[in-house]
Each structure stands twice: as structure tokens, then as C-alpha cells.
């Protein structure tokens, strides 16, 4: 089946795996018929008369390669509009710019560190008030809602404790109080979870992770259904200017085309690694939403297609030094920040991503000294198990 044939299939009849390859990609390049969208490495576009252009005037407000990516993203998240940015944080920054001083935001409490920093160190200074709430029990949320509440911001599963939040239940609360609901879908991707279908207003991605999938690009995105909301966000994109370049847009477009096959393997390998760790004598606890005794496992089953390749675990005795020795001795897993690439990565939250939080605070939320976080890649799983076996000893 070639892409011109697929382009004729009504988009909404396409299944997910077809959408990752063809979704939003209606036009075969009119110049030379190139199958992949060209990288339009240009800042500006010739006009025949003032205003006489082909839809693009200046690359901050629009670029054809970025547009191709934006419509692909809208397609795979079952949205109408995609808005792409230079990084995941730039995308969240654009959402917060819909608010004004005096407005309030309710957010998950064990939030991605960079998001927490953006909220507390930048936007609190502009007069926006944040409430960080454990949303595992969604009943708690309403206690924080008042007439100033404008946005609920959710991450699920959370990082690194893999807490599961019921998106549908939060969406019901948000609708009841006429508050926007944004979901950071970086950990799951639309292959596993589609928040717009569950009632969210905005889906956000750090495409740096699974969507790009090859640890070679930074990019962020928002996807929405409502055209008024989309127009406000396109305005921020143009007015604040945190856009991604055409080369980076191309890399994420290329990544998207294999998202479904990569995610399938991430999930398979994730399950095998989680089960291996769970039966290991020297492991105290494994956090992975696929376990039946994981808190809110039933919600994960309902809102996710599978359980992903992100796993955290603690070794017995809770030794900081021992955790460091383990991550240093891994050979197939690379010790690095980030996640979602084809290669397996390991991290030590207490000394890396969450080092800026005090030990007391870390212990309270479960980020103990021995906690290690894995982003399980798509290598042969036997090699990953062998690597963990030699490192844990």
C-alpha cells in the first residue's frame, strides 16, 4: 500500500499503527514527489505581492516541515491541532502563558523536576499560584478548586514513582468546574494512552523521549481539539517564539513512523525486566504499573493499552553507595538522564534528576537513596537481564 493510496483513506478510519506512518500526511511533495516531507531549511518565503504567499510568511509563525509534524501529532493523539516547540518545557511554558497573575493551578505532586522548576521558579514569580497534590485519590482535587483555578496539570505514570492517576475522573472534575485539564503524556505516548479521548483539553509531549525515540533531538508539543484553544496556543507559539527548527521537526516525524513497533518492544522488555527484578533476592521493591499489587493498577489497565518500559526499583538495605555502584557497573544500560530512546538507560534519582530536592522531602515521596530508575530499551532482553544480574550481583 503506497502513501498516496493511504492518503485517500479517510483519516478517522485509519487505525493507530497506520496513523503513525500516514496520519496528517495528506500531501505528497508537489515539487518532486519526495515520500518524506522535505526539510524546509528557510526562515522566510517569497511573496509575489504583499500578502501573496503560499501559506507561509516567516518560519517563526509557520514552516512546512513543522506543519507536517504538527498534523502528524494531532492525528496520533486523536486531536485536531498540533503545536510544536523547541522542547517539552517550552510547550508547558506556552500553556502557562494562557494564564494571568492571580490564577491558580492544581498539579500532581511528584512532577517532572523541570516542570516543577518552571512552575515554582518562573511562573510563581509572575503571580500564579500552584497547589501540588497527590492525585492518586482524585477526591482530594476538589478541595483545592476555587474561582481562580484555571488549570489542572497531570502526569501519569509519574516520575519516578510510577503513580497512576485516573484521567477520566480528573476530567470530570475539570469539566464540572470549567477548568482546563492538561496531561503530560511523555511517559506513555498515544500508543499506550490517549488523554483527549479520556476528556483532557490539552496533551503535552516531550517528544525528546519516546516520540523522537533515538535520543538525538529536543522537541516539545501540545495537541488540542478545540479551535479557540488552538488559536490561543498558536498565538503564544508565534508571539513568544520558542519554536523547533525544520531539521528537528523532521527527526521527530521520522521517529513517529516507528513509534508503535518500538513501544511494543519497550513494553515486552519492560515486563520481562520488571518480573526479573521483582523475584531478585537483593531487591526490596519494584515500581511498575503492570503488577497487580501496584496502587491503581486497575486504572492503569483501563486507561493504558500496556504498561510501558519505565521501571523504578530499590535494593535491600537502602544503601546510597550500593546504588551508585550498581549504576556504575551497568554495561548495556547507559548511566544518563532522559528516557524513551531505543537504548536502555539507568538513572539514580537521588543524585541526578531529584538531587535539588532535600533528602527529607525525597524520602517522603519515596525517592529513597537506593532508588534506581530504568528506561528499558529495545535491545535483546536477555542481554538486559544479564547486565542487571552482573551489576546487582
Ligand X SMILES: *Cc1c(COP(=O)(O)O)cnc(C)c1O
Q: How far is the CB of 186 from ligand X (least distance, A)?
A: 4
DSSP state of 41: -
Note whether 88 and 212 are within 8 A (CB).
no
Question: With respect to ligand X, which residue has the nearer C-beta, 111 or 391?
Answer: 111
> Does residue 131 contact residue 106 with C-beta atoms inside 8 Å?
yes
Catalytic-labelled residue, pool 19, 97, 209, 362: 209
Torsion angle of alpha carbons 74, 76, 78, 80, nearest 10°? 10
CA distances from 205 to 51, 210, 220, 239, 263 (A): 33, 9, 6, 21, 15
Nearer to ligand X, 22 or 209 (CB): 209
**Catalytic residue (one of 19, 40, 112, 201):** 112
The smaller minimum CB distance to ligand X, of residues 192 and 381, is found at 192
Which of 70, 155, 248, 387 lies at the binding interface for ligand X (CB under 6 A)?
155
Q: Is 383 a catalytic site residue?
A: no
CB atoms < 10 A from the CB of 18, how many? 16
117 tagged catalytic: no
Query: In the set 188, 194, 206, 344, which binds ligand X (CB under 6 A)?
Result: 206
Number of residues that bind ligand X (CB under 6 A): 16
Restricted to residues 210-269, the positions that interact with ligand X (CB under 6 A) are 218, 220
Of the candidate spans 166-174, 201-209, 256-264, 309-317, the one that interacts with ligand X by CB under 6 A turns out to be 201-209
Count the Cβ atoms, other than its own, within 10 Å of residue 186. 25
User: Of 168-187, which residues contact ligand X (CB under 6 A)?
Assistant: 184, 186-187
Note whether 156 binds ligand X by CB under 6 A: no
Is 265 in the active site? Answer: no
Q: Is residue 110 close enough to count as binding ligand X by CB under 6 A?
A: no
State which of positions 59-98 bind ligand X (CB under 6 A): 87-89
CB of 218 to ligand X, least distance (A): 5
- What order do you get walking across the sheet with 334-335 strand by strand? 283-287, 310-315, 372-375, 345-347, 334-335
Stretch that binds ligand X, among 10-18, 62-70, 206-214, 279-287 (CB under 6 A): 206-214
Please check whether residue 167 is in contact with residue 199, taking contact to mean a CB–CB distance below 8 angstroms.
Answer: yes
Contact mark string toward ligand X, 15..34, x via CB under 6 A: --------------------
Q: Which is nearer to ligand X, 191 or 391 (CB)?
A: 191
Residue 114 in contact with ligand X, rule: CB under 6 A: yes
How far is it, in rounded angstroms, from Cα 352 to Cα 82?
Answer: 32
| Near ligand X by CB under 6 A: residue from 66, 97, 163, 209 | 209
C-alpha cell read off for 179: 477548568
Other C-beta atoms lying within 10 Å of the C-beta of residue 184 = 26
Nearer to ligand X, 63 or 208 (CB): 208
Q: Which of 341, 283, 354, 347 is nearest to 309 (CA)?
A: 341
Helix (H, G, I), strand (E, B) or coil at 150: strand
Strand partners, 107: 132, 153
Closest to ligand X by CB, 271 vs 373, is 373
Helix (H) or strand (E) holding 151: strand 149-155
Active site residue 209: yes
DSSP helix/strand/coil, 126: helix
Are the C-beta atoms of residues 92 and 118 closer than 8 Å to each other?
A: yes
Is 208 a binder of ligand X (CB under 6 A)?
yes
Choice between 87 and 215, CB closer to ligand X:
87
Contact with ligand X (CB under 6 A) among 159, 193, 215, 370: 159
Q: Which residues pair with 374 in a beta bridge?
A: 311, 346
> 110, 166, 184, 248: which one is catalytic?
184
Note the residues at the interface with ligand X (CB under 6 A): 87-89, 112, 114-115, 155, 159, 184, 186-187, 206, 208-209, 218, 220
Q: Looking at the annotation, which residues are catalytic?
A: 60, 112, 184, 209
Amino acid at each position: 500500500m503506497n502513501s498516496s493510496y493511504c492518503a485517500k483513506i479517510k483519516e478517522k478510519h485509519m487505525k493507530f499503527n497506520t496513523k503513525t506512518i500516514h496520519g496528517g500526511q495528506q500531501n505528497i511533495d508537489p515539487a518532486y514527489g519526495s515520500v518524506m516531507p522535505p526539510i524546509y531549511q528557510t526562515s522566510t518565503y517569497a511573496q509575489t505581492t504583499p500578502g501573496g504567499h503560499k501559506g507561509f510568511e516567516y518560519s517563526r509563525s509557520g514552516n512546512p516541515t513543522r506543519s507536517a509534524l504538527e498534523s502528524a501529532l494531532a492525528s496520533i493523539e486523536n486531536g485536531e491541532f498540533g503545536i510544536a516547540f523547541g522542547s517539552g518545557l517550552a510547550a508547558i511554558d506556552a500553556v502557562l502563558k494562557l494564564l494571568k497573575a492571580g490564577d491558580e493551578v492544581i498539579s500532581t505532586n511528584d512532577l517532572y523536576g523541570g516542570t516543577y522548576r518552571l512552575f515554582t521558579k518562573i511562573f510563581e514569580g509572575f503571580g500564579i499560584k500552584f497547589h501540588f497534590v497527590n492525585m492518586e485519590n482524585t477526591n482530594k482535587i476538589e478541595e483545592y478548586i476555587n474561582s481562580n483555578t484555571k488549570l489542572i496539570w497531570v502526569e501519569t505514570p509519574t516520575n519516578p514513582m510510577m503513580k497512576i492517576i485516573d484521567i477520566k475522573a480528573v476530567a470530570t472534575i475539570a469539566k464540572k468546574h470549567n477548568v482546563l485539564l492538561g496531561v503530560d503524556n511523555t511517559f506513555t505516548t498515544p500508543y499506550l494512552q490517549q488523554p483527549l479521548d479520556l476528556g483532557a483539553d490539552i496533551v503535552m509531549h516531550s517528544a525528546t523521549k519516546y516520540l523522537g525515540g533515538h535520543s538525538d533531538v529536543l522537541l516539545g508539543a501540545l495537541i488540542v481539539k478545540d479551535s479557540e484553544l488552538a488559536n490561543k496556543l498558536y498565538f503564544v507559539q508565534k508571539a513568544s517564539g520558542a519554536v523547533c527548527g525544520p531539521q528537528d521537526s523532521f527527526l521527530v516525524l521520522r521517529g513517529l513512523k516507528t513509534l508503535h513497533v518500538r513501544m511494543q518492544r519497550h513494553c515486552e522488555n519492560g515486563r520481562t525486566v520488571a518480573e526479573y527484578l521483582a523475584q531478585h533476592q537483593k531487591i526490596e521493591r519494584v515500581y511498575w504499573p503492570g503488577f497487580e499489587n501496584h496502587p491503581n493498577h486497575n486504572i492503569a489497565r483501563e486507561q493504558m493499552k500496556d504498561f510501558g518500559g519505565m521501571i523504578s526499583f530499590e535494593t535491600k538495605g537502602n544503601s546510597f553507595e550500593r546504588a551508585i555502584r550498581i549504576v556504575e557497573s551497568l554495561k548495556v544500560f547507559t548511566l544518563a538522564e532522559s528516557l524513551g530512546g531505543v537504548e536502555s538507560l539507568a538513572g539514580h534519582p537521588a543524585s541526578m534528576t531529584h538531587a535539588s530536592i532535600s533528602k527529607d522531602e525525597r524520602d517522603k515521596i519515596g525517592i529513597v537513596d537506593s532508588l534506581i530508575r530504568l528506561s528499558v530499551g529495545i535491545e535483546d532482553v536477555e542481554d538486559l537481564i544479564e547486565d542487571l544480574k552482573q551489576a546487582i550481583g
